[in-house]
Amino acid sequence: MNQQEKLITPSDRSTVLNVIGVNITVLTDSKAQKITLQSGNEGAGPPPHSHPWDESFYVTKGSVQFICNGQTTNCHEGTFVNVPAGTVHAFSFGEGGGELIEVTTSNSKAIEMFSALDREIPPGPPDVTKVIEVCGEYDVEFHL
């Protein structure tokens, strides 16, 4: 397999996607790796959900509250969280907002879903029915 080096400086980053109050920048979207940079204001983040791919997070700024299988943990800068496929999980940015890196496995449909949400859900209070419909197209199930 031929792999290429990749260097992305802040000025090289793609357009930021607005995904229901979370700013998402795609750092790489290849067959081998899917990595995003995500940031948001206090309280922003997805509700409890699950999907058929593994997902890992590394908190780079501020704090993020993670819920995995009903257990809540407040994570600060430097914390790594791994979420296996099928695990019900959620997160929300803490006081003052936060930032994290998200890495998903090769079978992930996350980036495609983020792009669809950015395209189909306008800023402001979301149409929850539409959000559930769009996410369902990418194998994400909500556990509300």
Residue showing tokens 């899917």: 34
Domain count, the chain: 1
Q: How far is it, in rounded angstroms, from Cα 76 to Cα 84?
A: 21
Please tell me the predicted confidence (pLDDT) of residue 3.
60
pLDDT > 70? residue 2: no
The residue segments making up the domain with residue 115 are 12-142
Report DSSP state, residue 129: H
Query: Is 17 a member of any domain?
Result: yes
pLDDT averaged over every residue in the chain: 92
Task: Report, as an integer, the average pLDDT of 33-38.
Answer: 94
State the average pLDDT over residues 58-67.
97
5-27 b/e (C-beta count within 10 Å ≥ 16 → b): eeeeeeeeeeeebebbbbbbbbb
Mean pLDDT of 80-98: 97
Mean pLDDT for the stretch of residues 56-70: 96
CATH of the domain at 26: 2.60.120.10
Mean pLDDT, residues 99-125: 95
Q: Is position 5 within any domain? A: no
Per the CB < 8 A criterion, the answer to whether 55 and 106 are in contact is no
Check if the beta carbon of residue 112 is closer than 8 Å to that of residue 87. Answer: no
With pLDDT > 90 as the criterion, what percentage of the chain qualifies? Answer: 81
Confidence of residue 59 (pLDDT cuts 50, 70, 90): very high
In a domain, 127, yes or no: yes
Please state which of the ranges 1-5, 15-19, 33-37, 138-142 shows the lowest mean pLDDT. 1-5
Residue 112 is predicted with a pLDDT of: 96
Secondary structure class of 131 (helix, strand, coil): helix
